[in-house]
Amino acid sequence: MVIVHLKQKDESQFLYETTLQTSVDVLIKNVVAIYNGRLKVHRICCEIQELAKHGILYPPEILGLTPEQVEEMKLEDPYEEKCIPSGGFIINQDPIGRRNGRQPKKDMQEVLNKAVKDAKEMISKNLVPLGKLMTLKVVQEALNILKGAVTIVYPMKLPPHDVIRMEFENIEDLTGTQASLDVIDPVTAQLWFCGKEMFRDKIVADYVGKVENCKVIMKLSKKGSGAPAREPIMNEEDRKQMMMHAYRKQEELKKLNADDDDSYLNSEWADSTNMKKSFHGLTNISWRPGKPSK
135 burial (CB, 10 Å; 0-12 / 13-18 / 19+) is middle
pLDDT digits (tens, 9 = 90+) for 26-58: 999 999 999 999 999 999 999 999 999 999 999
How many domains are there within the chain? 1
Q: What is the pLDDT of residue 10?
A: 83
- Bridge-based pairing of strands 196-197 and 2-8 is unpaired
In a domain, 242, yes or no: no
In a domain, 99, yes or no: yes
Distance CA 280, CA 184 (A): 96
Tell me what the mean pLDDT of segment 165-188 comes to.
91
User: Domain span at residue 46?
Assistant: 23-183
Q: What is the pLDDT of residue 236?
A: 72
In a domain, 102, yes or no: yes
This prediction has a pTM of 0.77
Q: What is the pLDDT of residue 151?
A: 95
Distance, C-alpha 13 to centroid of its chain: 8
pLDDT digits (tens, 9 = 90+) for 51-71: 999 999 999 888 877 778 888
Task: Taking the CA atoms of 58, 60, 66 and 72 in sequence, report the sign of the dihedral they define.
Answer: negative
Per the prediction, the chain carries an average pLDDT of 87
In a domain, 239, yes or no: no
Tell me what the mean pLDDT of segment 170-182 comes to.
89
Q: What is the pLDDT of residue 193?
A: 92
The answer to whether 60 and 97 are in contact (CB under 8 A) is no
